[in-house]
Amino acid sequence: MKQEPLLLSALDVASSKTAMLICERNIDGSLTLIGFGEARTDGVERGNITNLEKVVKSIQKAVRDAETMANVRIDSVSTSVSGEHIRCIQSRGVHPVASGEKGEITREDVEKVIEAAQAVAVPSDSEIVDCIAQSFVVDGQEGIKDPIGMTAVRLEVDATVITAGKTQLENIRHSVARSELSVSDTFVGIEASSVATLTPEERDMGVAVVDIGAGLTQTAVFLGGKMKFIHIFGYAGNSVTKDIAAGCVLPFEQAEKLKLEHGDLLIPPDNQENIDIPGIAGREPRKIKKLFLGEIIEARFEEIFSFVKEALEKQNLYNKLITGIVLTGGSSQMPGIVPFAERFFGLPVRIGFPARLGGMSNLVNAPAYSSSVGTVLLSSSFAGEKQSASGKGEGERGLLGVLTKWLKKKF
């Protein structure tokens, strides 16, 4: 009997937009985008839901449009979580494999040592959303990537535990439930963006992905194929718009339009071009220098990049970014941002576009959708591991299966 493609859906509720993707997971593991919906987000600031009713309306519209395009009905979605409440904790877990003589390390042993790594002090208002095994130690031998099948008495793991605010997670789940859906998986937004934009070589050699959205700037560092560090702060595209609104005396909406139509990070100092801006409340239209607009934008982006650089230097990671920096997110589309960032960081910089999907991928082939595409890619990875496990013996499942099972327990 021919196996039908598996339907996967991803919901990304961001500060400026809500995006919904519906994909078919084909037999070979590839994804085909069959439905897409998008709605303006009201009621989210810096990744935090501030008006549940408005968020629910945005979700319902995005879901309805995606379902109509795909001609299907869905009952569950994978989501992502972002915000300044996301934290990283470095931890070590220890587990005895056998008492006395050495025993063979099984996936259950790996599962238990990863659970042991979660025994860290987590604030009462947070919960663990991910646990990334950096490397294992087998009877004192460090640097082991996958210990399953090895023999040992003692198994240890160095892990990065990622936490998120309980209130923020519950608000996302409640918003989805109010839209008559359930949450199947929850991923960290910057991790999803990284999956969608980074190459294996970049992840292995050393790279920082910086997702500059509307309300948040999120940074993740990868070394040796593993995510080592996350840093998130609430200055991003909307901060630039607010600066323009203040400097040019404009409402926020007009300032946003001015930024999108005339914003540039590489305006020559001798530029004399004028920009017409509308008057407020019946006043006469005015003119401003394009150079003045550029100076406002440059000042805020320089501050944003300085926060990123400071965080990387504080963790002693800045000099380990061999392949440089990947910029993604909607605000990474500012003209001139690549040379501006290269000059600031002194590192190679490129724009990260999300991985291509089959089908109508042109609808989401922009940095603004990196987190959305990454969420469905992570969901597909978990689904693939589940399908693979159903056809194998329990002892044949690898390390990814262990991590998948642990995350499934959490959500």
Which CATH number belongs to the domain containing residue 119 in this structure?
Answer: 3.30.1490.110
Q: Is residue 351, in this structure, part of any structural domain at all?
A: no
Angle between the 290-314 and 237-248 helix axes, to the nearest 10 degrees? 140
Task: Give pLDDT, residue 2.
Answer: 57
**What is the average pLDDT value for the chain, to the nearest integer?**
90
Task: Give pLDDT, residue 278.
Answer: 84
Q: Is residue 315, in this structure, part of any structural domain at all?
A: no
Kindly report the pTM of this predicted structure. Answer: 0.89
User: What is the enclosing helix (H) or strand (E) of 277?
Assistant: strand 274-277
Q: Is residue 152, in this structure, part of any structural domain at all?
A: yes
Q: Is residue 2, in this structure, part of any structural domain at all?
A: no
Task: Give the confidence band of 402 by pLDDT, cuts at 50, 70, 90.
Answer: very low
More confident residue, 224 or 395: 224
* Chain segment 230-260, per-residue pLDDT in tens: 999 999 999 999 999 999 999 999 999 999 9
Q: Is residue 150, in this structure, part of any structural domain at all?
A: yes
Q: Tokens 């071009």 label which residue?
A: 273
Residues 6+ apart with CB under 8 A from 104: 97, 149, 150, 151
Q: Is residue 126, in this structure, part of any structural domain at all?
A: yes
Q: CA 347 to CA 239: how far, in whole Å?
A: 25
Q: CA 148 to CA 44: how far, in whole Å?
A: 43
Q: Is residue 117, in this structure, part of any structural domain at all?
A: yes
Q: Is residue 372, in this structure, part of any structural domain at all?
A: no
Q: What share of the chain has pLDDT > 90, as a percent?
A: 79
Total count of domains within the chain: 1
Kindly list the distances between the CA atom of residue 344 and the CA atoms of 271, 291, 325, in Å, as whole numbers in the listed order: 22, 19, 11
Q: CA 263 to CA 265: how far, in whole Å?
A: 7
List the domain range (segments joined by +) for residue 148: 87-165
